[in-house]
Amino acid sequence: MDLQTIRERIRRRQYKSRDDFKGDIESIVRNSTLYNGAKSPLTMIASNMLSFCEKKMAEKNDKFARLEKAINPLLDDNDQVAFSFILDNIITSMKAVPDVCTSRFSIKYRYLSLLPMDGPTD
């Protein structure tokens, strides 16, 4: 891993979470330790860079959490948001399947009719 690759991933918005970004920075530290030695000035700079990133991410923790939830609704604390996201994905996938029978109901209603209902079953 190198800083140019990280920069490119940031530019292309490829990081889905702060852990992904932090993992790449940690990779730079590990690589520098392996190839340059633990006491190398390059390793010390890489370690300082990691510490700086951790500090800045901690300062912006709430903002990062909101952004991560916007990117991936499955991370949301509200289970209904995550469930809605899953259902929307299923419905979108089902819309791509050709309709083999004619029906006056939309695909949403056909899907929802397949869901198990709460209550006694015989």
Mean pLDDT of the chain: 80
The tokens for 51 are: 């510490």
User: Which class is domain 3-68?
Assistant: mainly alpha
Three-state secondary-structure class, residue 120 = coil
The per-residue pLDDT for 116 is: 55
Q: Is the pLDDT of residue 86 over 60?
A: yes
Share of the chain above pLDDT 70, in %: 80
Give percent of the chain above pLDDT 90: 41
pLDDT digit string, tens, across residues 3-56: 999 999 999 989 878 889 999 999 999 999 999 999 999 999 999 999 999 999
CA 95/CA 23 separation, integer angstroms:
37
Please report the pLDDT score of residue 114 as a whole number. 53
Across 99-121, average pLDDT:
52
Q: pTM for the complete prediction?
A: 0.56
